[in-house]
Structures are given as C-alpha cells and as structure tokens.
Amino acid sequence: MLDFIIRRHSIRKFKDENIPDKDLIEIIKAATLAPSGKNSQNWHFIVIKNRNKLNEIADIVKNKELKLSQYIKDGIEKNKFISSIDNHIFFKDAPITVFVYAGPYPDNRKKILKNAKVAKEEIEEYINVEPRIQNIGAAMENLLLAAANLGYGGCWMTGPMLAKKEIEEYIGFHKDGYSLVCMAPLGVPSENEIISSTRKPIEEILTIID
C-alpha cells in the first residue's frame, strides 16, 4: 500500500539520461498539490537543465565553502567541513536541478498580536514553527515522491545554501519576498542497489497518548 513512499530514496548519482519536459511538469505539478497554510502556495521552482550552468553553480558552492573553511581553526573540524563539500555539489552531474524559492507567508495574526501588545516572546513562539517553510517541505516531499514513481530519483538539498546569496545572484530570479531555500537534482538513478539511510526504531519516535 505504501509502495509509492518506500520507492523514494535520496539519489546522488545519475545516468546520463534526460527527463522529458512532460515528466518534469508532472513532477512540479505534484509538488504544487501539497498542502500549504492558507493555501498560500508560496513556492516558485526554477529548473536548470544546462550542464555548464550547473557546473558553475557547483563551483560557486565549493568556493564559498572553501572560503568559509578558512575561518575554522580546529584541524579536525576543518577537515570534516571540507570533506562534506562533495555532498553539496553532486547536483552538477544531474540532468536537471530544481531550485526552490519560498515566498512570504501571508499572516496577519502576527501584526494583530503585536498591535494588541502581546509579549514578543509569545509571538515568536508561534512564528518559530515556520509555516512559510513547512509549506515548502510538503511540496518537496510531493516532488520527490512523484519523481520516484515516474522512475526518477533525486535528493532534497540544503547543504549548498551556505552559498544561497551567491546562487541567487547567479540565477538572477526576482519575485517580491522570494528567496532560495533548497534544491533537488533529479534524474534516472545510476545506483544498482538503491537503499535509504536507516530509520530510528518506531518506539523511539512515537508516543501514543490514550
């Protein structure tokens, strides 16, 4: 019954095969079928197919992370930081990468509570649950499930966001209040045996209250 969920794994290596536009559009449409607070649909998807552009973006990420690594004094921490760079640039070998922008979440309750002089901490408690970003999470999971069910694979990525500003500048997309929050390379998986990372036991993550 849950096959369509079990079929999804993070895919980081891809065959040299393109995704036809009709499949791509189906995948993006699936993303937009996700629930969103106030049906705000505060997402925008930029798809880059051009391999040179993806390589240039990967270079931007690598250079930014190398630059930041210069601030790390502890040798072990520095090596750890540098060795994780490959996990943030493998999208350069995917046929396409989807860059996901989040827009503002129209929430007048914050303003109403502020005007009513409710304590700032109490308002922040509420804002901390970040409905704006939760919407994007729902869309991302739909996107990856749809891709897996069409025979593709991908990986949700926030690692490259250390170079968020630089990537935004490179892409040059402007929509009021929107900014880059994550990305996902997509393609035909190259791994023969595709498996997910292990999961915590159910007893550890589930509490049922009668």
Ligand X SMILES: Cc1cc2nc3c(=O)[nH]c(=O)nc-3n(C[C@H](O)[C@H](O)[C@H](O)COP(=O)(O)O)c2cc1C
> Under the rule (CB under 6 A), what is the footprint of ligand X?
9-10, 12, 87-88, 155-159, 196-197
Nearer to ligand X, 70 or 196 (CB): 196
Nearer to ligand X, 123 or 168 (CB): 168
CB of 75 to ligand X, least distance (A): 24
Give yes or no for a contact between 57 and 170, defined as CB atoms under 8 angstroms apart. yes
Nearer to ligand X, 110 or 164 (CB): 164
CB of 166 to ligand X, least distance (A): 16
- Beta-strand pair 153-154/43-48: unpaired
Q: What separation in angstroms does the CA of 175 have from each of 1, 136, 156, 178, 179?
A: 40, 16, 22, 6, 8
CB of 131 to ligand X, least distance (A): 16
Rounded Cα distance between 8 and 105, Å, is 29
- Which H helix or E strand runs over 61? helix 51-69
CB of 183 to ligand X, least distance (A): 8
Rounded Cα distance between 121 and 125, Å, is 6
Residue nearest to ligand X (CB): 159
CB of 12 to ligand X, least distance (A): 6
Nearer to ligand X, 103 or 185 (CB): 185
Nearer to ligand X, 174 or 199 (CB): 199
Give yes or no for a contact between 174 and 3, defined as CB atoms under 8 angstroms apart. no
